[in-house]
Amino acid sequence: MTTQEWVERRTQSTVWYLCLPIFEKYKIKLPTRKYFTSRIKAVCERLGVTREQLGIIAKPRAAMYFKGEWTSVSYDAIEDLARNGTDIIFIEKKGVVELFCEYADDFGIALVDTQGFLTDYAKDLVKAGGISGANVAVVSDYDASGIKLAYDAGDIPRLGVDQEMLDYFGLDKNNPNLSVPMKAEKDVITPIKDLVSGDVLEFLKYKKVEIDAILAAVGNEHFWEYLMHKLQQYYPTRDYTRVIKSSPEVSNYYPTVVYGLQSVLGKYINLILQDESSATKDELKEVEGFIENINQRRQDIDKRYRAIVDKDETLKEIDEKLTTEIQPLIDRLKDLTAELENKRAQKRKEKEAKEGGH
């Protein structure tokens, strides 16, 4: 079976259960489920395939907020999500993204709630976002895990929480109302030793300053303003064609009479189809068993609607009038369109020739 063919989808835990008989048959020491599932991605990479190609689905823990909508960061969604926002900000703390949704909407920025750590899908989204032209950054707690999360995110700016943010707001990290005690695990401290200075490392071993603490001290708006301040420093420019259409929605510029015709036609056709529509709804509402071919049923319904419309005398008269009186104008528009397209094509050729000459 090729990777393009359909494969049954399974969770990582399901794969663990499926392997239990194999462990028993070959008398292999049973690994813990946590260890087994943690190794699946590495084994797939060694084999040159992805988990998704084998039908293995990892839980999409992260979620993106953009323009009023939340979307889980899953394998299938990464390519589309990477095109959202001028900037994509990954925020470690669960729930904090919801505090900034209104601000993000105004700026055209996408926010990702990592829920405490970067899943593989979130890491893939970091890469895909950068490739697509988004300005990508991360915000995490001022603790060892937060620094490691930013490190795991790759070569992208970390906007805070850090000493620079504390200094900006005039806050002291040793204030007991700001920092809280915690003991960082060795496997978290080791990867960040070369990323921070010695005194900061000592602080991170035993204390942390959470995003929530800064929010409590300065408020949501000032915190957001700081993020924008840092984003501006790291990314002086951004591509607003990602959030503002530069090409016109041509239907917005149709002649007024066309709008009127569309509106009244829509209402009229809806009314003459109303009885058939109600009958169709009753027909579909309580079907015994299954409809074996949904597409065929849709086509049959469309044919019934089309037959009613084609028999309507008023619509026939409108069609005749449009054909005799409006069609010549449509033909003229076609000619003008072709003429404009030819002129633009000629200009492109002349420009290319001029640039090639240099």
pLDDT in tens, 69-99: 999 998 889 999 999 999 999 998 878 898 9
Any idea which fold 63-242 has? Dna Topoisomerase Vi A Subunit; Chain: A, domain 2 (3.40.1360)
pLDDT at 116: 67
pLDDT at 60: 59
Mean of per-residue pLDDT scores for the chain: 89
Taking the domains of the chain in order of start, what are their residue ranges? 10-57, 63-242, 250-357
Q: How far is C-alpha 92 from the chain's CA centre? A: 17
- Rounded mean pLDDT, 15-26: 87
- Rounded mean pLDDT, 126-152: 91
Quote the pTM value.
0.72
Instruction: Say how far apart CA 291 and CA 297 lie, in whole Å.
Output: 8
Closest by alpha carbon to 89, among 167, 161, 168, 157?
Answer: 157
Residue 243 binned pLDDT confidence (cut-offs 50, 70, 90): very high
pLDDT at 311: 96
Could you give the 3-state DSSP secondary structure of residue 53?
Answer: helix
Residue 162 DSSP code = S
Burial label for 44, CB within 10 Å (0-12, 13-18, 19+), is middle
Instruction: Say how far apart CA 179 and CA 203 lie, in whole Å.
Output: 10
Residue 4 binned pLDDT confidence (cut-offs 50, 70, 90): very low
Provide φ and ψ at 301, rounded to 5°: -65, -45
Q: Which residue has the tokens 């969770």?
A: 11
pLDDT at 3: 40
Q: Read off the tokens for 353.
A: 């020739």
Instruction: Say how far apart CA 184 and CA 353 lie, in whole Å.
Output: 63
pLDDT in tens, 265-306: 999 999 999 999 999 999 999 999 999 999 999 999 999 999
Share of the chain above pLDDT 90, in %: 51
